[in-house]
């Protein structure tokens, strides 16, 4: 069951303190060779929750923080995050993709993890101001972007196993290159699970990722890039992939597993489905079994498989491993759905195509 959420607004006239850097580090960055998520822009947003309320937010220089060894989140993992991106538009302006949807999803995760709701104006105004201040950090090359990482964690200094009393909300930004380079080979996992019914799979909780590293490491040692998770009971239902949702084109129909409390409601996933429907494509959000996927590859009905995520964008899958065998997916040409939807998303983000969905938050 997914918890209903309420949007919290701070009533008072909300002030945000801005403490800019004395000297930017921008000229140290090699924008031609950007790794994913290793370089951080000049500023970060910082806001603390104390004595039952959110305090004044501050945009301050990015830098290290000192923490107690009894920091609550280090012991109990009461931590959640988001992933979103700002892009350089064709006319030089900067746009953030579906910013408000990330705000809503962060609060859904917060509710499940017993973290106080972040008020809309702290998230949205803070995000806009932060990106505006560091807009020169948004890569000029349209194919890469400024990755944005909002996160919240329990910051009390005690080790009793109950919810933290204090929290931090922070936003970092990182000019980043592609997450996956080259072919994406995935393996259908039938031993380990990412999430179970009634668990926290739909939340972007830090522990969902921490728990996936061991099974992911095991399949990476065998040459695969990522796991395709299956359900916790039968291991027959496809769920999602490691850092992305997954979709297939089978018999010309776009197929993806339905959302549930075990699956992260990807914003890229939703964007792809909306675009496909607007193109009149048949879309099915229905359970899909491992056997159907493998049989459809064997009999040539499965023509595409791809991952969808903020970091992963649209990542075509070249091979699916299952029970020790590899099944190759036909190479995806320029007329494939995955390639077309990827270009459509790029065109909307750059402003070359009208944003009829209202997805871009333009920063100017």
Residues forming contacts to ligand COI in the complex (CB under 6 A) are: 83, 209, 243, 309-312
Instruction: CB nearer to ligand COI: give 242 or 351.
Output: 242
To the nearest whole angstrom, how small is the minimum distance from the Cβ of residue 68 to ligand COI?
A: 26
**Cα–Cα distance measured from residue 102 to residue 118, given in angstroms and rounded to the nearest whole number:** 12
Instruction: CB nearer to ligand COI: give 192 or 209.
Output: 209
Instruction: CB nearer to ligand COI: give 167 or 179.
Output: 179
Question: Which residue has the closest beta carbon to ligand COI?
Answer: 83
To the nearest whole angstrom, how small is the minimum distance from the Cβ of residue 252 to ligand COI?
A: 28
Instruction: CB nearer to ligand COI: give 72 or 149.
Output: 149
> Hey, which residues does 60 pair with through a beta bridge?
44
- Would the CA dihedral through 38, 351, 344, 257 be positive or negative? positive
To the nearest whole angstrom, how small is the minimum distance from the Cβ of residue 207 to ligand COI?
A: 12
To the nearest whole angstrom, how small is the minimum distance from the Cβ of residue 93 to ligand COI?
A: 23
With CA atoms as reference, report the closest residue to 240 among 182, 294, 285, 179: 285
CA distances from 182 to 9, 157, 317 (A): 43, 44, 10
Instruction: CB nearer to ligand COI: give 164 or 310.
Output: 310
> Hey, which residues does 161 pair with through a beta bridge?
none
With CA atoms as reference, report the closest residue to 241 among 188, 281, 190, 167: 188
Instruction: CB nearer to ligand COI: give 249 or 312.
Output: 312
Nearby residues of 342 by Cβ (< 8 Å), 6 or more positions away = 313, 314
Structure tokens of 95?
A: 């746009």
For residues 308 and 285, is the Cβ–Cβ distance under 8 A? no
Instruction: CB nearer to ligand COI: give 213 or 291.
Output: 213
Structure tokens of 162?
A: 């109950």
**CB half-sphere exposure, 191, CA atoms < 13 A:** 9
To the nearest whole angstrom, how small is the minimum distance from the Cβ of residue 161 to ligand COI?
A: 26
To the nearest whole angstrom, how small is the minimum distance from the Cβ of residue 166 to ligand COI?
A: 25
To the nearest whole angstrom, how small is the minimum distance from the Cβ of residue 172 to ligand COI?
A: 12
Q: Integer distance in angstroms from the first to the last C-alpha of the chain?
A: 40
Q: Rg of the Cα trace of the chain? A: 21
To the nearest whole angstrom, how small is the minimum distance from the Cβ of residue 242 to ligand COI?
A: 8
CA distances from 184 to 67, 128, 244, 253, 325 (A): 38, 33, 12, 22, 16
Instruction: CB nearer to ligand COI: give 73 or 241.
Output: 241
């Amino acid at each position: 069951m997914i918890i209903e959420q309420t949007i919290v607004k701070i009533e008072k006239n909300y002030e945000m303190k801005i403490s800019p850097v004395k000297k930017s580090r921008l000229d140290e960055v090699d924008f031609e060779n950007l790794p994913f998520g290793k370089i951080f822009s000049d500023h970060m947003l910082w806001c603390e929750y104390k004595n039952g309320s959110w305090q004044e937010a501050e945009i301050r220089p990015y830098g290290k923080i000192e923490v107690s060894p009894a920091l609550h989140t280090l012991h109990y993992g009461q931590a959640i995050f988001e992933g979103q991106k700002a892009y350089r538009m064709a006319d030089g302006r900067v746009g953030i993709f579906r910013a408000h949807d990330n705000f809503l999803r962060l609060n859904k995760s917060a509710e499940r993890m017993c973290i106080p709701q972040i008020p809309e104006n702290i998230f949205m105004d803070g995000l806009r101001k932060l990106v505006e201040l560091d807009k020169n950090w948004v890569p000029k090359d349209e194919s890469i972007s400024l990755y944005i990482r909002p996160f919240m964690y329990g910051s009390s200094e005690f080790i009793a196993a109950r919810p933290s009393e204090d929290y931090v909300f922070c936003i970092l930004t990182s000019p980043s290159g592609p997450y996956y380079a080259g072919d994406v080979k995935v393996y259908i996992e039938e031993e380990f699970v990412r999430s179970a019914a009634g668990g926290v799979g739909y939340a972007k909780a830090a522990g969902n990722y921490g728990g996936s590293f061991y099974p992911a490491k095991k399949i990476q040692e065998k040459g695969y890039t990522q796991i395709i998770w299956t359900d916790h009971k039968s291991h027959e239902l496809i769920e999602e992939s490691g850092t992305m949702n997954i979709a297939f084109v089978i018999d010309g129909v776009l197929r993806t597993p339905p959302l549930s409390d075990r699956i992260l409601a990807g914003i890229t996933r939703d964007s792809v489905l909306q675009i496909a429907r607007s193109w009149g494509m048949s879309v099915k959000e229905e359970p899909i079994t491992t056997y159907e996927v493998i049989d459809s590859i064997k009999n040539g009905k499965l023509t595409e498989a791809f991952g969808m995520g903020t970091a992963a964008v649209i990542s075509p899958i070249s091979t699916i491993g299952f029970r020790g065998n590899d099944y190759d997916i036909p190479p995806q040409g320029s007329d494939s759905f995955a390639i077309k939807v990827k270009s459509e998303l790029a065109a909307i983000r750059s402003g070359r195509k009208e944003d009829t969905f209202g997805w871009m938050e333009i920063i100017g």
